[in-house]
Structure 1
Amino acid sequence: MQLIDIDKERYRKHLNIVIVSFISSLLVLSLLFGTILISMFSSVGDVNELVKVANDAVQAEPESNFRFNLLGVILALVTNAAILYRIKHSAFFTEIYYVWQVKQLQNLVYRKLKKIKLAANNGEEKAMTILSFYYQSQLQIYKLDDNTITLSTIENHQQELNVLIAKSGLNISCEQFKKELIAAY
């Protein structure tokens, strides 16, 4: 995967729209699905059921519509996930989907970071390529997300890696990165 330049304002605007839309539709769809399920399948609240409950003093716990409401929430989540899956390649979603993919790759690298750093210190070109991508992508994502607290730390790691690459006499850049390189560690 290649790192691309992202317009921060457009990314933040689209991300905020997606977040608000997701939360709003989750709320509305959960209520809608829950109401439909309760009206179709629930016996709680029926007159005959209320008479039976009143006559049956031994019943320890009244019935509720919790399972129908829970199923409504699950159906709303599935519906929202399907919608997000369908629009992930749209022009509106381009930046958000790109950042999501980069964060997935960062997570894969992070899980093997100790081994990769050790291999890079031993002069392995693949490990240095992975670290170059990792640090460059972190700088990009942290700037997009306004996570400025750890930027200096990442910049220091990037500089240390550049010194290591120079000592090794290699010509490495993050453009050489491929996801398959991670599997070696």
Structure 2
Amino acid sequence: MKLVEVDKVLYRQRLNRVIAVFIGSLALLSLFFGQVLISIFGNVEIQSGESTGNLHLNFLGVLIGFALCAGALYQQRHRDYFKEIYYVSRLKALQNRIYRKLKAIKLGADKDSHDALIILNFYFASLKLVYLLDDNTLTLNNVDTELEAIKQRMTSLELSITEQDFDVELLNRF
């Protein structure tokens, strides 16, 4: 995966719309399927002040609504409207993969491993990109510090590594 520039305004605007439509659709579909399931399988004898016993049917309605919303979102992921959202979600998933191996990668970087330095450079550069997109300014200074330390390490080793040198296959070595 390569780092690409993402239009922050467009990304945030589209992400907010997708989230709002997803939540609205989930609410409506959950209510609809909950009511349909209750009307078909629910307890018809309701006594005042007692539980109806239909909680499991309402929960099943939420699950069905969620499955439909998630499936619809999954099918739309390659459309132009979702390009930035899908790219950032894939980037976050890749960051999670790197994070799970971060201890071993940092040990490799301490031993001046070229592959480890490539991964760390990509990881911190991608974190910076995502943090800027999500307005996560609390930990941005830490990321900048780590990224600068990696770049200084590469300079001291006379390596010219860029974020574009990263390949997912490098993770298999750690």
Q: What SS class does the counterpart of residue 93 from structure 1 fall into?
A: helix
Distance 1:70 1:150 in 2: 37
- Whether the 8 Å CA contact 1:121–1:164 is kept in 2: the answer is no
**Cross-structure match for 2:147:** 158
Distance 2:51 2:84 in 1: 50
Distance 2:75 2:27 in 1: 20
The residue type paired with residue 146 of structure 2 is H
1:1-185 matches, within 5 Å, as 1-42=1-42, 44-45=43-44, 49=45, 63-185=52-174
Q: What SS class does the counterpart of residue 96 from structure 2 fall into?
A: helix
Distance 2:154 2:20 in 1: 44
Count of aligned residue pairs for this structure pair: 173
User: Measured at CA, do residues 33 and 168 of structure 1 come closer, stay the same or move farther in structure 2, by a change above 3 Å?
Assistant: same
The residue type paired with residue 129 of structure 1 is I
- Whether the 8 Å CA contact 1:165–1:172 is kept in 2: the answer is yes
Distance 1:16 1:171 in 2: 38
User: Measured at CA, do residues 136 and 62 of structure 1 come closer, stay the same or move farther in structure 2, by a change above 3 Å?
Assistant: closer
1:123-147 Cα distance to aligned partner (Å, 9 max, x none): 1111000001101101100111111
**TM-score relative to the length of structure 1:** 0.89
Runs of 4+ that moved beyond 3 A? none
Using the aligned pairs only, state the percent identity: 42
Distance 1:143 1:23 in 2: 25
Give the CA deviation at 1:21: 0.7
Give the CA deviation at 1:107: 0.7
Give the CA deviation at 1:94: 0.6
Give the CA deviation at 1:80: 0.8
Q: What SS class does the counterpart of residue 6 from structure 2 fall into?
A: coil
Distance 2:98 2:163 in 1: 13
The residue type paired with residue 2 of structure 1 is K
The residue type paired with residue 27 of structure 2 is L
Distance 2:141 2:37 in 1: 53
Give the CA deviation at 1:63: 4.9
Give the CA deviation at 1:114: 1.3
Q: Which runs of 5+ in 1 are unaligned?
A: 54-60
**TM-score relative to the length of structure 2:** 0.94
